[in-house]
Amino acid sequence: MSLVNNTLLLVYRNFVAAVDKTFLIWMVAFPVVYIFIVGYAYSTLIGDRGISVGSITVTYTSFLTSGVIGFNAMNGSSAVAGGIVWNDKRNGMLQQLLVMQFSKVQYIVGNLITIILVGLISAALIMIIGFPTMYRNVNITLWSLPYIIYALAMGSVFFGSFTIILSTKIKSSEAHSVINNGLFLFFTFVSSAFYPAQGLPTPLAIAFYLNPLTYIVDISRAGIFSQITTFTNIQVLILGAISVAVFVIATRSMVNMKV
Amino acid sequence: MPNIDGEDDYCISVSNLRKKYGKNNPYAVNDITFDVKYGTVFGFLGPNGAGKTTTVKILTTLLKPTSGTVHIFGRQLLKNQSEIKKRIGVVSQNPSFETNLTVEKALDLYGILWRIRDKQIRKNKINEILNTFDLGSIKSVKNDELSIGQRRRVQVAREFIHELDLLFLDEPTVGLDPSARRLLLDYIKSQVKSGLTVFFTTHIMEEAEYLCDQIAIIDKGKIIAFDTPSGLKQKYGKGNKTVELTFNDVPDKLFIDHLRNIVNMRRSYKDATEATSHVGFNGVHTVTIIDDNVEQIISEVLQLVYKNGLQLENISINPPSLEEVFLAVINKNDYSKDSEVSP
């Protein structure tokens, strides 16, 4: 009971300490710019052709919004996880929590729950805000909903854990910022969030499928438009495996953090 | 409160504690044993790298000892961590703060983490802390924007948000100005009177002298002296006193040489290792003489002053400070260690 209470207290603490107004504005404003500016601007270039998703064709704004939902899960979870672990390590709060009634296991589980919740909330926000742009194509069913939740939750675990690993290994703020920005530039733009992977030159297509964001976006998009195929299920397995592996590494990094 | 059923007379009992970081390194803490009584301040002093913080980290469960046992509130630390941790507070050597929160919000969050669920109780406690530690004017400032000293004050203050029986203070006054330092020490003193036990490390000997009931001096992982402050002075100060003579004019070299002769005459009667007599001259107006029997040499010194036609502006006789004792203990330990390894 105390384990559960302590973990929940840490989740609450993470939200209070890491999620402020600036974070929330950034979490909404950034994707909204993508959806409403980039989305409509590119739509004029693409015209009425639409984009294929499984057996259907959707508008570019629908395609983009469904991609930004996954992107925002990545963005939110990595920002909050990196912020918490980086600040706790740098500002001595990890040590302070551990001399209180909290254990490292509780700290790690608390962070995991926070990452998933922030990822899901970030995605849900975009789902609500971007709904007007894709309502004609949305077809979420009881069968496809778990795919969406799974993709966003697992994606949050992957990116949250990945940022935690960076935060525990990197020593200086400058390096932390440069590596984070560099990697997330790759994750964001070498993925199927903004454009389809089909028809790309082979090297670029391979790079797309080396990027977990592609899997998150593909699975959640298949769920949103009810276009689940065998390939979606293979992506589910791959995303699960890499997320668990990265989480295990992140856990080890947190356990080995010097206090 | 202390001394509930099953608890012994000591708040902390440490027995044969050792800690080694890595196989090939020497012991950071090497077979230390001590007890801390309830309702007292225990000073744990030592030079940098002596093993103070490692000991504090073991006592606060951050590190596991290589061997030895620790009992806190009469319970074995390793087996009763969560129960013990509920009753202790820790102010670490390094700063710790929630960057994005204001002082007031951070204190409120800290209260929640200590499971003070009632909002009104938390609010009252926070107001009390803000007043006691003079933090009212910065309550709406974010931790990130505070000065080092202000942050330190918040770090110490927040520990008093929950009921605690034992407080670990690892160099808590680093970065504090003199008035904030005195405010903190006086508050701790008042809390000790109400039953709080304090484990205190510092490099500032005046603080240790002001606050501590008992002092252990640790060097190279071993406790090399342990007593009350006055006991330490008796044992290691060898009863030395410092005479400080301040002249109207700068005394000449000949006078200083004569003075040294008087003191050296006394030295020659003693065993060389026991002799601590010393004449110091700052090159301007002040001469200091350290000796274990200044009363005996003072008449000779005053005669010499008179003979040389010097005018004394001031003369003061002081007992040894804890700092002098600390230096004597550490130097003696270095000397004996050197002797051990010398062929």
Chain B closest CA to A79's CA: distance in Å?
Answer: 14
Closest-CA residue of B relative to A22 is: B100
Contact in structure between A220 and A152 (CB atoms under 8 Å): yes
Tokens of B133: 């530690």
Cβ-defined contact of B109 to A92 (cutoff 8 Å): no
* Disruptive mutation site among B63, B93, B113 for chain A (greatest number of A CBs within 10 Å): B113
Low-confidence ranges of chain B (pLDDT < 50): 1-6, 270-275, 339-343
Who among B95, B97, B113 is closest to A100 (CB)? B113
Report the gap between the CA of B217 and the closest CA in chain A (Å). Answer: 24
- In this structure, what token pair is assigned to residue B203? 């490099």
pLDDT of residue A83: 87
Give B25's contacts (C-beta < 8 A, 6+ positions apart).
none
- Mapped onto helix, strand or coil, the DSSP state of residue A24 is helix
The answer to whether B216 and B208 are in contact (CB under 8 A) is: no
Question: So what's the pLDDT on residue A50?
Answer: 86
pLDDT for B276 equals 52
Terminal-to-terminal C-alpha distance of chain B: 54
Q: How far apart are CA A60 and CA A41, in angstroms?
A: 10
* Chain position carrying tokens 């970081």: B21
| Angle (CA) B76 B12 B8, round 5° | 75
User: A142 lies in which domain range?
Assistant: 2-256
- Predicted TM-score (pTM) of this structure: 0.83
Q: What is the pLDDT of residue B341?
A: 39
Q: Alpha carbon of A27 to those of A32, A82, A163, B179: distances in Å?
A: 9, 15, 17, 44
pLDDT tens per residue, range A96-143: 999 999 999 999 999 999 999 999 999 999 999 999 999 989 999 999
Count of domains forming chain A: 1
What is the distance between the alpha carbons of residues A228 and A139, in angstroms, rounded to a whole number? 11
pLDDT of residue B198: 97
> What mean pLDDT do residues A149-159 have?
96
Minimal C-alpha gap between A96 and chain B (Å): 7
State ipTM. Answer: 0.85
Joined together, the tokens standing for residue B171 give 């160099």
Between A and B, how many CB-CB pairs are < 8 A? 60
CB A160 within 8 A of CB A77: yes
Question: Of A16, A98, A101, which is closest to B86 when you measure between CB atoms?
Answer: A101
Rounded CA-CA distance B213/A150 in Å is 60
* Cβ B12 vs Cβ B76: under 8 Å: no
For chain A, the residues whose C-beta falls within 8 A of a C-beta of chain B are 2, 9, 12-13, 16-18, 20, 87, 91-93, 95-103, 259
**What CA–CA distances, in Å, run from B74 to B7, B33, B335?**
4, 15, 38
Q: What are the angstrom distances between the C-alpha of B224 and each of A147, B215, B229?
A: 66, 11, 14
C-alpha A136/C-alpha B213 separation (Å) is: 78
> Among candidates A49, A74, A69, A70, which has minimal Cα distance to A60?
A49
Provide the pLDDT confidence category of residue A233 given band limits of 50, 70 and 90: very high
Contact B161, B143 (CB under 8 A): no
- Residues of chain A with Cβ-Cβ distance to B90 below 8 Å are 96, 99
Q: Å from B116 to nearest chain A CA?
A: 12
What's the pLDDT score for residue B166? 97
Average pLDDT, chain A: 91
Q: Annotate A46-115 with DSSP letters as a single string.
A: HTT--EEETTEEE-HHHHHHHHHHHHHHHHHHHHHHHHHHHHHHHSSHHHHHHHTT--HHHHHHHHHHHH
CB contact (8 A) between residue B98 and residue A12: no
- Confidence (pLDDT) at B299: 83
What confidence score (pLDDT) does residue B8 get?
A: 65
**DSSP character at residue A36:** I
